[in-house]
Amino acid sequence: MTPTSPSRRDLLKGAAAVAVATSVGVASPVTSGRAHAQGSAPLSRARIDGVLKQAVDAREVPGVVAMAATPRGLLYEGAFGVRALDQTPPMTLDTVFRVASMTKAITSVAAMQLVEQGKVKLEEPVPNIDPALGSPQVLDGFDASGVPKLRPAKRPITLRHLLTHTAGFSYEIWDANMVRYVKASGMPSTATGKVAAIRMPLVFDPGDKWEYGVNTDWVGRLVEEMSGQPLDVYFRERIFGPLRMRDSGYRTSDEQRSRQARVHQRQPDGTLVPQPLEAAFTPEFWSGGGPLYSTARDYLTFLQMLLHGGSFNGARILRPETVALMNKNHTGDIPAGIMKTESPARSNDVDLFPGAQIRWGLGYMLNMQPGPNGRSAGTVSWGGIFNTYYWIDPAKRVTGLIMTQILPFADQRVLKLYGQLESAVYETLKSV
């Protein structure tokens, strides 16, 4: 499932396809942004166009939006295909996506703002806003009759534990014991949007291991408690508003919903089936871990803020030293990033860089070695369950993202496209 590098032949085929489409007026890109400000060469832009268009033409994805930027400005933006296979509206640069776990980076930035203000500390026990945080219990197996066995955690949970997914919290989707616990205890599933759904026991003691889980949901609850604001209001006033991210939030307007892409479910034969738009839903709490809506342009703005050391669009969101701290390895020798699915319809097994050293920063995955498609050691990245992905490469000073709406997570075709996009972006960097 590693994002794979495109061959030279693939890139040339893609570029040729764009040239043919332009000359005959068919199958041309719906929208393709041109990075005039950086003067990137037309052939370099065509390389990226061709990679994306080829995937749409092969029906590997219904539609896709991709963007990249450097400190000089926009490097590339393009949109191809349609928002839903059973409808005609095209994918556009302002298409609205469910970015799911790409919410986590935003929540992590919010938490680090509070660290800067001295309202919470990384290394101290988190404020006791809930027994799940203040008096955590560890799931220590099940007895002969299937009743869960719990014991007190050996040490308190810190904000660093939560931001790095080393607190011991899990997700049912990737943890068989938590699936069993939810069934045995009768606690609500995380899909219900209830606070009780994240009041789960830990699956190991804080700091012992890495496991992806509801950690960032608790970070969001801490942000609310420490700031005195609901999370949606905090995001709007402290991050989205200053950065002019006008299409990002927990709710969509009717106009934004009219621009929303539909989720498609990958079938065993590889085909894609469009799903209905999700019903409007107001949960008990706004999750710091998942349900934001955004556009590629908005999210790229957020990434550019991080690439610029915490400031963008005239707004200072974080100090440069805080961003640098977030990008460091905060899990030490503890390996990270590998998840085994318990729900194949929602996620494949996840191992984005097999065999590579993967760790976690304060909010996202960290490559300890150069990646196969151009990223440097020290690159941070992550994605969302509907196969949206981003990366920030501080060494080569570039950031990029790719947006689709496909289940299950870690879709092999999308990961291949992600890798091809990344490779083409780094090739383009050589010409600017």
State pLDDT tens for residues 222-280.
999 999 999 999 999 999 999 999 999 999 999 999 999 999 999 999 999 999 999 98
State pLDDT tens for residues 391-400.
999 999 999 9
Q: Which helix (H) or strand (E) holds 399?
A: strand 398-403
Which CATH number covers residue 58? 3.40.710.10
Domain termination residue (choose one: 199, 227, 255): 227
Q: Which SS3 state, helix, strand or coil, does residue 390 take? A: strand
State the catalytic residues.
Answer: 101, 104, 212
Higher pLDDT, 9 or 25: 9
Angle at 362 between CA 357 and CA 363, to 5 degrees: 90
Same domain, 216 and 258: no
Range of the domain at 30: 8-99+247-429
Strands 406-407 and 264-266, bridge-based pairing = parallel
Residue 88 has pLDDT above 60, yes or no: yes
Domain termination residue (choose one: 193, 227, 261): 227
Same domain, 28 and 159: no
Same domain, 253 and 329: yes
**Residue 320 is assigned to a structural domain of this protein:** yes
State pLDDT tens for residues 198-222.
999 999 999 999 999 999 999 999 9
Sheet holding 63-70, edge to edge: 31-33, 73-81, 63-70, 398-403, 388-393, 380-384, 365-367, 358-360
Same domain, 51 and 127: no
DSSP 326-351: HTS--STT-----B--S-TTTB--B-
Strands 311-312 and 292-295, bridge-based pairing = unpaired
Mean pLDDT of 13-28: 34
Same domain, 266 and 387: yes
Same domain, 89 and 140: no
Distance (Å, whole) CA 287 – CA 100:
10
Alpha helices in 30-165 (DSSP H): 42-57, 103-116, 131-134, 159-164
**CB-count exposure of residue 282 (10 Å: 0-12, 13-18, 19+):** exposed
**Residue 204 is assigned to a structural domain of this protein:** yes
Distance (Å, whole) CA 306 – CA 317:
9
Which positions ≥6 away from 422 have C-beta within 8 Å? 3, 371, 373, 374, 375, 391, 400
Same domain, 268 and 165: no
Domain termination residue (choose one: 198, 227, 256): 227
Secondary structure tally for the chain: helices H, strands E: 13, 17
**Strand extents, DSSP E, 355-396:** 358-360, 365-367, 380-384, 388-393
Based on the structure, what is the number of domains in the chain?
2
Distance (Å, whole) CA 35 – CA 83:
24
Distance (Å, whole) CA 185 – CA 303:
40
**Residue 237 is assigned to a structural domain of this protein:** no
Angle at 95 between CA 79 and CA 244, to 5 degrees: 110
First to last CA, the chain: 31
